[in-house]
Amino acid sequence: MANHLYEKGLEIRKVVIGEEFVEKAIKNANDFNQPLQELVTEYCWGKIWAREGLSMKTRSMLNLAMLTALNRPDEMKIHVRGALTNGVTKEEIKEIYLQTAIYCGLPAAIDSFKLAQQVFDELEVDE
């Protein structure tokens, strides 16, 4: 398991998503979901997020837009936290979601605003 892609991915994943969250995901991995943990760590984080062509901040912004379209609340909350870590401001999250209202429709944007608010409340993020 301990290959280069996995190691690099693990490092970036911890920076963006949080060491505690990632440690827990790995510790809780069982025979059933272990290959998913590897796939996520290697491909998503080691292969794509590790690429240099876009800043981590931009990648986080893209994810907030995509996850609104994809309708995946759990991942959205994880990536709102990641976005804050990567320097996306609350103001910018607002702008991203307003733009999703136009392209993905209002119900999608409304859901994203609610999910982000939950994360802000959990993290006690002020303006």
Q: Which residues bind a copy of itself (CB under 8 A)?
A: 31-33, 35-36, 39-40, 43-44, 47-48, 51, 53-54, 58-59, 61-63, 65-72, 74-75, 90-111, 113-114, 116-117, 120, 127
- Three-state secondary structure readout of the chain: CCCHHHHHHHHHHHHHHCHHHHHHHHHCCCCCCHHHHHHHHHHHHHHHHCCCCCCHHHHHHHHHHHHHHHCCHHHHHHHHHHHHHCCCCHHHHHHHHHHHHHHHCHHHHHHHHHHHHHHHHHHCCCC
Q: How far is the CB of 19 from a copy of itself (least distance, A)?
A: 19
C-beta of 10 vs 67, nearer to a copy of itself? 67
C-beta of 19 vs 73, nearer to a copy of itself? 73
C-beta of 20 vs 121, nearer to a copy of itself? 121
